[in-house]
Structure 1
Amino acid sequence: MGDVVLRDADRPGDLGWVLMAHGERYAAEYGWSVEAVTARIVADFAASAVPGRDAAWVADLDGRRVGSVLCVREEATTARLRLLLVEPDARGLGVGRALVERCVGFARGAGYARLVLWTNEPLAAARGIYLAAGFVLDGEETHTGFGRELLGQSYVLDLAGPEGAP
């Protein structure tokens, strides 16, 4: 396999791929229907991203898309990590970790004090990446947003801490 390249998600089709990959991957691996939620996130990003405050990245492996993550403004001092995904054949190569690190670094550089995210309990590999990056569980709540009952989890990362205050 070749090298993984992280790049801005600014090429034609990048955001469409994010939507498609999430729909296909979560249906195949978990039986979840995530396209309505993902479509809203992608559409909101495409319509209102502010350069320097919002960003999206794609990971390419051998010239094809294999991962994604977005960093979006939640409020003046808080950003939200959204839509982390790594395709199965790119897992174990550090793609998820690299995408999360890119998002965290961007949020710090943009001057956010906190980075938050929401995920679901079955996504253990992603949770491991978030915990390794310093995120802390902030709350849990059941929901049925993806067609079945799941335990949603909220995480927070203090960006103004000793590791890199803006």
Structure 2
Amino acid sequence: MDVTFRDYDPADADWIVARHQAHYAEAEGFDDSFGALVAKVLARFEATRDPARERGWIAVDADGARRGSIFCMTRDDDTAQLRLFLLDPALRGHGVGQRMLDAFTIWARSRGYRRAVLWTHESHRAACALYARSGWTCRSSTPVTSFGRPLVEQHWDIVL
């Protein structure tokens, strides 16, 4: 699959919010509060980003069309947080998600982070399988009601 990664640009923000909102509304029935959360995460990233330690990538196809995103944000001095990881479902199963996760991991390690964390939901089965294959460990699973529906929230981490 001919997909490359480029750095996030603030002009990507509306696309990221819209794609996350549309995908999770269709795939999992999430309400509009999910898009609002994505917008809040991006606004914080843009307002407080430390370029030496935080980065966003946009996956683009050969035509330059956006096909996914992944972000490295600082949780604390030793901990990176994986955020806003999304890949067009048509590209899943072609190794693109693994390449995106590897780019995150290599970059976070090169910036001195000792571990990385992420928050997801059990229903994101393909992503959870990718995390497990890549050495991440699920540390907790908690039933919650979020985004207008019952879910099982998960927290994962990995030593870098």
Q: TM exceeds 0.5?
A: yes
Q: Distance in 1 between the 2:107 and 2:15 partners?
A: 22
Residue deviations 1:16-61 (CA, integer Å, cap 9, x gap): 2111110011011111121121111111111111112100001001
Q: Distance in 2 between the 1:146 and 1:117 partners?
A: 18
Q: Distance in 2 between the 1:31 and 1:145 partners?
A: 11
> Is the partner of 1:72 in helix, strand or coil?
strand
Which residue in 1 is equivalent to 2:60?
60
Shift of 1:116: 0.2
Q: Distance in 2 between the 1:69 and 1:80 partners?
A: 10
Which residue in 1 is equivalent to 2:7?
8
Residue deviations 1:76-101 (CA, integer Å, cap 9, x gap): 11110011101122222212111111
Assess if the C-alpha contact under 8 Å between 1:67 and 1:95 holds in 2: no
Structure 1 stretches of 4+ moved >4 Å: none
Which residue in 1 is equivalent to 2:25?
27
Q: What is the one-letter code of the residue matched to 2:79?
A: T
> Is the partner of 2:146 in helix, strand or coil?
coil
Assess if the C-alpha contact under 8 Å between 2:72 and 2:83 holds in 1: yes
Residue deviations 1:105-143 (CA, integer Å, cap 9, x gap): 111011001100011001010011111111001111122
Which residue in 2 is equivalent to 1:49?
49
Q: What is the one-letter code of the residue matched to 2:50?
A: V
Q: Distance in 1 between the 2:14 and 2:48 partners?
A: 16
Normalising by structure 2, report the TM-score. Answer: 0.93
Which residue in 2 is equivalent to 1:120?
121
> Is the partner of 1:134 in helix, strand or coil?
coil
Q: Which runs of 5 or more residues in structure 2 are unaligned?
A: none
Which residue in 2 is equivalent to 1:163?
none
Normalising by structure 1, report the TM-score. Answer: 0.90
Which residue in 2 is equivalent to 1:135?
136
Q: Distance in 2 between the 1:71 and 1:99 partners?
A: 11
Q: In the comparison of the two structures, how many residue pairs are matched?
A: 157
1:88 aligns with 2:89: yes
Q: What is the one-letter code of the residue matched to 2:106?
A: G
Q: Distance in 1 between the 2:125 and 2:135 partners?
A: 15
Which residue in 1 is equivalent to 2:77?
76
